[in-house]
């Protein structure tokens, strides 16, 4: 039953509104507050679907209440109640985010209509938010092997901290997924997650990409531009393939980590940044250090916490789950009817040498779904999954 909060200093009006909403229609639960402060307190401590708020009130007027609601619970619609003198204000509150306004004395039908519409809209907003959360289903981490369970428990512990994390593991094992989880489960999840693929950016551009540049810093720099570190402010920067970063960029990253500030290329002005760094690599950084391609001091700065994602060959018990997961996903995406895998087919897939790890497994499942029979058989696997 949706709860409605009425904030109104005139007892008579409060009573009328409350009566209409709770008696004429028994679908609503009503709470009353005599002024804005009391209203805000109630709003904080309870779940409301809607706020009805008078405009002229002592202590805190309706506009201030509206602004406070927009700050603390922006998804709750606010309907203003306007007296004779403040119709203009009422109209103006719409621009501040009020859902609608009703005039005093309240008209029964208009009131019920407005309330119904506002509650419907709220449901829509909440539903949209839920859908947005679902987008991160893209980063679902399937698996029940010790390796995956350990990674998940590590993420739970590490994500809420500010510690830097280095994620290592072979190609296609899910390092990017781990990085997304770390961000999504952190207090920075409302801030941005900025991904930089250090291997994909030419070495002469990486510094300007990470730190930005000022106009004239180099030939093509025709205006000031912020870099990824600044873009990640109050969020997380994910330095993917960090093992491929040039030594001179490494020196600059090290400096940024030490100082919590960056300098745009061509400028010596320090710009403060509040960024958590997560890095990933499929290279053996110890070896890179030995061979002089990676700075040891940077390694120690990045690898405060080390998460090693195991190769698929080391967690074969996850393969049936992963096959099922990808099969469902692929058939759903391509709008084809569901397909199952025979137990012999699954067993054979479990024995393969998965050098390309989960990414390779996904591709093989896709191929089998397209080419295999209605139930994918051992023969299908032999025919189509060989490399
Ligand atoms: N545990 C998992 N459950 C479901 N899907 C997964 C899992 N791990 C990885 N994947 C999928 O496998 C693919 C490769 O994962 P990802 O890109 O995270 O790997 P990576 O380690 O970053 O690889 P690379 O080193 O090549 O960049 C992605 O499509 C990802 O969604
Ligand atoms: Mg990756």
**312 C-alpha vs ligand 1 centroid, how far in Å?**
11
CA 130 to each of CA 127, 204, 242: distance values in angstroms, whole numbers, following the listed order = 5, 42, 34
Tally Cβ neighbours within 10 Å of residue 351.
9
Ligand 1 neighbour 143 (Cβ under 6 A): yes
Please report which confidence band the pLDDT of residue 353 belongs to, taking 50, 70 and 90 as the band edges.
Answer: very high
* Mean pLDDT, the chain, integer: 91
User: What whole-number percentage of the chain has pLDDT above 70?
Assistant: 97
DSSP secondary structure string for all residues of 23-49:
II-TT-EEEEESSHHHHHHHHHHS--S
Q: What is the mean pLDDT of residues 116-141?
A: 73
C-beta separation of 55 from 27 below 8 A: no
Q: What is the mean pLDDT of residues 278-286?
A: 97
What lies within 8 Å, CB to CB, of 202 at 6+ separation is none
CA 186 to each of CA 90, 189, 283, 308: distance values in angstroms, whole numbers, following the listed order = 40, 6, 26, 19
Ligand 1 neighbour 329 (Cβ under 6 A): no
Please report which confidence band the pLDDT of residue 362 belongs to, taking 50, 70 and 90 as the band edges.
Answer: very high
Question: How far apart are the C-alpha atoms of 322 and 150, rounded to whole Å?
Answer: 17
Whether the per-residue pLDDT at 132 is higher than 60: the answer is: no
- Is 313-384 in CATH node 1.10.8.60? yes
Ligand 1 neighbour 323 (Cβ under 6 A): no
Ligand 1 neighbour 310 (Cβ under 6 A): no
Give which of 20, 1, 32, 36 is closest to 102, Cα–Cα.
20
Question: How far apart are the C-alpha atoms of 312 and 364, rounded to whole Å?
Answer: 14
- Is 140-310 in CATH node 3.40.50.300? yes
Residues 308-344 pLDDT 10s: 999 999 999 999 999 999 999 999 888 888 899 999 9
Delimit the CATH 1.10.8.60 region(s) of the chain.
Answer: 313-384
Can you give the pTM of this predicted structure?
0.69
**357 C-alpha vs ligand 1 centroid, how far in Å?**
8
What's the CATH class of domain 3-134?
A: alpha beta
What lies within 8 Å, CB to CB, of 328 at 6+ separation is 338
Q: How far is the first Cα of the chain from the last one, in angstroms, to the nearest whole number? A: 59
Which ranges in the chain belong to alpha helices (H)? 11-19, 36-45, 62-72, 87-95, 108-135, 146-158, 175-184, 203-211, 228-231, 247-259, 285-290, 296-302, 319-334, 343-351, 357-371, 378-384
Delimit the CATH 3.40.50.300 region(s) of the chain.
Answer: 140-310
C-beta separation of 89 from 82 below 8 A: yes
Ligand approaching nearest to the C-alpha of 142 = 1
Residues 172-190 pLDDT 10s: 999 999 999 999 988 898 8
Residues 144-160 pLDDT 10s: 999 999 999 999 999 98
Ligand approaching nearest to the C-alpha of 363 = 1
Residues 215-274 pLDDT 10s: 998 888 888 999 999 999 999 999 999 999 999 899 999 999 999 999 999 999 999 999
Please report which confidence band the pLDDT of residue 134 belongs to, taking 50, 70 and 90 as the band edges.
Answer: very low
C-beta separation of 250 from 203 below 8 A: no
**360 C-alpha vs ligand 1 centroid, how far in Å?**
10
Ligand 1 neighbour 311 (Cβ under 6 A): no
Whether the per-residue pLDDT at 135 is higher than 60: the answer is: no
Residues 17-35 pLDDT 10s: 999 898 766 789 999 999 9
Question: How far apart are the C-alpha atoms of 194 and 233, rounded to whole Å?
Answer: 9
Delimit the CATH 3.40.50.2300 region(s) of the chain.
Answer: 3-134
C-beta separation of 52 from 82 below 8 A: no
Ligand approaching nearest to the C-alpha of 362 = 1
Q: What is the mean pLDDT of residues 274-280?
A: 97
């Amino acid at each position: 039953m949706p709860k409605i909060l009425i904030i109104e200093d005139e007892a008579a009006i409060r009573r009328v509104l409350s009566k209409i909403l709770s008696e004429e229609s028994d679908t609503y639960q009503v709470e009353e507050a005599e002024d804005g402060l009391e209203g805000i307190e109630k709003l904080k401590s309870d779940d409301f679907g809607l706020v009805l708020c008078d405009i002229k009130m002592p202590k805190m007027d309706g506009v201030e209440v509206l602004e406070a609601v927009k700050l603390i619970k922006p998804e709750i619609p606010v309907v203003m109640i306007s007296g004779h003198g403040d119709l203009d204000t009422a109209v103006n509150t719409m621009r501040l985010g009020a859902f609608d306004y009703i005039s005093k004395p309240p008209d029964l039908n208009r009131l019920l209509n407005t309330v119904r519409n506002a509650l419907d809209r709220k449901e829509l907003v909440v539903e949209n938010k839920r859908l947005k959360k679902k987008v991160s289903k893209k980063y679902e981490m399937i698996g029940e092997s010790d390796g995956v369970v350990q990674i998940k428990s590590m993420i739970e512990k590490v994500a809420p901290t500010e510690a830097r994390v280095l994620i290592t593991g072979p190609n296609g094992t899910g390092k990017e997924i781990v990085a997304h989880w770390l961000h999504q489960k952190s207090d920075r999840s409302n801030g941005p997650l900025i991904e930089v693929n250090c291997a994909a950016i030419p070495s002469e551009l990486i510094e300007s990409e990470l730190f930005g540049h000022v106009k004239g810093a180099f030939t093509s720099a025709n205006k000031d531009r912020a870099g990824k570190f600044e873009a990640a402010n109050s969020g997380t920067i994910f330095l993917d393939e960090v093992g491929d970063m040039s030594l001179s960029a490494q020196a600059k990253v090290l400096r940024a980590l030490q100082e919590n500030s960056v300098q745009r290329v061509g400028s010596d002005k320090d710009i403060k940044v509040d960024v958590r760094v997560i890095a990933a690599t499929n290279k053996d950084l110890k070896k890179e250090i030995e061979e002089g391609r990676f700075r040891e001091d940077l390694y120690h700065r990045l690898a405060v916490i080390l998460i090693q994602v195991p190769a698929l060959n080391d967690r074969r018990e996850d393969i049936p789950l992963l096959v099922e997961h990808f099969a469902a996903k692929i058939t759903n995406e391509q709008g084809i009817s569901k397909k199952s895998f025979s137990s012999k087919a699954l067993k054979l897939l479990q024995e393969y040498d998965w050098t390309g790890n989960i990414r390779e497994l996904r591709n093989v499942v896709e191929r089998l779904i397209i080419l295999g029979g209605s139930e994918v058989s051992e023969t299908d696997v032999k025919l189509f999954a060989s490399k």
